[in-house]
Structure 1
């Protein structure tokens, strides 16, 4: 039986009538504001080449680990979904999603996909086994049109700026092409910037670390097997990334541990981790030292520093061996911030010119650690509910557990952190609705005035993120 796909205009707004009325008014005031996407993983080649997306599977299934991790959890092989398998029949892969779409009931992925289906492609019936071919054919046909090229979609959904994420080993040729077109008379004016993600040359346990340092040396002309040359190479590449529009760095360390070793000890540690004889403890200490080194560089060059710890990356060894990184097998882990950040904060915590945005996958730290830290140190801000908590309940928990100590203005708005391009407007719409609902509750409880809620809605949607990321 075909069931209608109907997005309720008041979805995610509070159920209590008076609160919902206020939330609805707040939401209407921010619903059409431009999207600022300061951290994500979309492919810059999309915007440089502006080629059409091939089909529904290529755009909506293969890049989205939120989607295929759920299917994999139910025993569906990743190869059959097209993950690292260019030989798969995309229609057959899409049918697997359609036949199993009920698995996503109640999840954020269901909300995001339904928004994309209804708002982007005008689908009026729900995805199911019966509608699989209808969806695949309709979406694939529309993707072949000029109005669904990456730049057209960027403009249609009011994206003001989007940041991608690249390693120091990336040549950034796609960003160079975009900037060249921006500068050309009559060229596309969409703003796509990069972010400096140094994990492959900072983490001794990253696959191919020593080979990565060799490539780092070739790219920069520095001897990256010496401490001085290694740090000089980072400074050089950070300058280049800034020339390509970067305003931030991003650090996906397992923990937020920091260290501030004397120079001789740091140099000796570097020599050890670049040899074949180092321990896991050595690797963790080196990553800790490099967070402090990166903070020092950010104080010099003005790049905002993002720390994304607390994920046990590639937890499924078999999936990692067969499919590589970022295939839905990263698992949140317990994370401690107060002691781990202290060496860095002892050195730089009182520097108002330094900006560090902290994220967490450990919600138990919101009220106990993160909000008090950000509510005191001038250099710290709190990133939004992230990854596994990028959800209605996750966003509500974040606001309820951090606002009383850190306030709103020690947070940085919303970022979508996605590889799935069309989920960007869907995710921002969810965040706007949840924030407006939270503000409406404060108004009804007479904790803030209605005009304050209206200002806050604008700030949480647009102003804070631009300020925090220096966009």
Structure 2
């Protein structure tokens, strides 16, 4: 049995002199409210405010980071409680799922998953021993007991975490019932939707025609033509704005934003309506629609988020067995300079427009993204995302982009998570890493301590707020 202890200086610089400065800088941000503008927590969790059912359902089953590590060591998703599309046999005993996770605890050494889990277990739930085969049942009982208490229901934790605003990610076809419930209960400014139209912009998707027909039903606008399709998208965006949305979110594979002529866009759209579109035309249409989404953002003020470069469901067998987004997503090399050029030429200096760009290809930080953000006023660099929201990934981000883009062409830290109770851990890590980076600049006499303190607060709070303010 190993103790679970969190050092106050975790993730701060190892050098004693720099660490002392970092402690002071971190102290200025550690208790600031959390601004969570790029998340994937289901709004129903907060609208219904039901107790979390059990430790496995909270910590294990929905956590893609955790699952993929166990799978890499031979685990089967079915044994970890992940449902199958055909209703096959899946482990349903949460205690058994929890035991399997605890038996693999050593696999997470040195990973950000371990950092987040340690924070969650110790700081949120008061756990003082590490997970392991010998502690699994005792930890399960402790966590189950805590989850049964009113203080551990979703809204109570939301307040305890100091979350000021949390953005969800929502289908353009959603009627946003949970957001309506939250708004009626006075939570409308705390939990806001985000418009995620990817499914409607890829016209070669098998369900695309049915989805576009549903779009017509929701809006009362005929989507039989390309012009009607555009008007229906605008109508749905207005619904999201009225519901409090601040941003859109786009997870395209590539970055092409080349606009098509109206006639060419109409031709591709018409072919797609009959199921006869070819892959090249479908890809060109998706790039064109990113350009159109930017145009619409100029009209309605929604901040545009773009996070390309991920091949979804790389394991096609797992995707077939467990459904979409369960086949393990893998980053691919991504090009930004040429791909974003049409969009930035059209809207990059428009004061009504803001685009936040994320990447999982860190080779582009200093070569492409920082120079682009360092010249186009509309562009901001999103926080290190996904495989890069790690202690070392965050440090590399600051070191690579600050020379060209500075601090103020970034959004500061906004988390990207489905794991609700990991939110404070992720923000805490970012604040510690930024404190270390700023402390080094102070120690090297490249920045005054007063400037470091001010910058730290901006990165943790002010920049996320200002970057995502609706551009109206």
Distance 1:239 1:206 in 2: 25
Following TM superposition, where does structure 1 have runs of at least 4 consecutive aligned residues deviating by more than 3 angstroms? none
Q: Does the aligned pair in 1 maintain the 2:314–2:327 contact within 8 Å?
A: no
Q: Does the aligned pair in 2 maintain the 1:269–1:282 contact within 8 Å?
A: yes
Q: Does the aligned pair in 2 maintain the 1:203–1:283 contact within 8 Å?
A: yes
In the TM superposition, 1:161-180 aligns within 5 A as 161-180=165-184
Distance 1:30 1:225 in 2: 52
Q: Does the aligned pair in 2 maintain the 1:79–1:88 contact within 8 Å?
A: no
1:374 is matched with which residue?
Answer: 373
Q: How many residues align?
A: 465
Distance 1:339 1:226 in 2: 30
Give structure 2 stretches of 5+ with no counterpart.
Answer: 85-89
The offset of 1:273, in angstroms, is 2.8
1:240 is matched with which residue?
Answer: 239
Q: Does the aligned pair in 1 maintain the 2:304–2:355 contact within 8 Å?
A: yes
Q: Does the aligned pair in 2 maintain the 1:314–1:320 contact within 8 Å?
A: yes
2:304 is matched with which residue?
Answer: 305
Distance 1:189 1:9 in 2: 35
The offset of 1:80, in angstroms, is 1.0
The offset of 1:364, in angstroms, is 0.8
The offset of 1:62, in angstroms, is 1.1
In the TM superposition, 1:331-346 aligns within 5 A as 331-346=330-345
TM-score by length of 1: 0.97
In the TM superposition, 1:151-166 aligns within 5 A as 151-166=155-170
Q: Does the aligned pair in 1 maintain the 2:194–2:245 contact within 8 Å?
A: yes
CA pair 196-189 structure 1, distance change in 2 beyond 3 A = closer
Q: Does the aligned pair in 1 maintain the 2:309–2:361 contact within 8 Å?
A: yes
2:80 is matched with which residue?
Answer: 81
Render the CA deviation track for 1:278-318: whole Å, top value 9, x for unaligned. Answer: 22211210110000100000000000000010000111101
Q: Does the aligned pair in 1 maintain the 2:215–2:223 contact within 8 Å?
A: yes
Q: Does the aligned pair in 2 maintain the 1:154–1:190 contact within 8 Å?
A: no
Distance 1:163 1:133 in 2: 35
In the TM superposition, 1:42-121 aligns within 5 A as 42-84=41-83, 88-121=92-125
Distance 2:345 2:274 in 1: 30
The offset of 1:191, in angstroms, is 0.6
SS of 2:191's partner is strand
Distance 1:248 1:454 in 2: 29
Render the CA deviation track for 1:416-467: whole Å, top value 9, x for unaligned. Answer: 1100000000000000000000000001111111110000000000000000
Render the CA deviation track for 1:310-341: whole Å, top value 9, x for unaligned. Answer: 00011110111111222261000000011111
Distance 2:327 2:39 in 1: 16
**What RMSD in Å do the two structures reach over aligned CA positions?**
1.2
Distance 1:355 1:434 in 2: 26
Give structure 1 stretches of 5+ with no counterpart.
Answer: 183-187
CA pair 190-8 structure 1, distance change in 2 beyond 3 A = farther
1:420 is matched with which residue?
Answer: 419
1:185 is matched with which residue?
Answer: none
TM-score by length of 2: 0.97
SS of 1:357's partner is strand
Q: Does the aligned pair in 2 maintain the 1:396–1:438 contact within 8 Å?
A: yes
Q: Does the aligned pair in 2 maintain the 1:69–1:327 contact within 8 Å?
A: no
1:220 is matched with which residue?
Answer: 219
Q: Does the aligned pair in 2 maintain the 1:194–1:245 contact within 8 Å?
A: yes
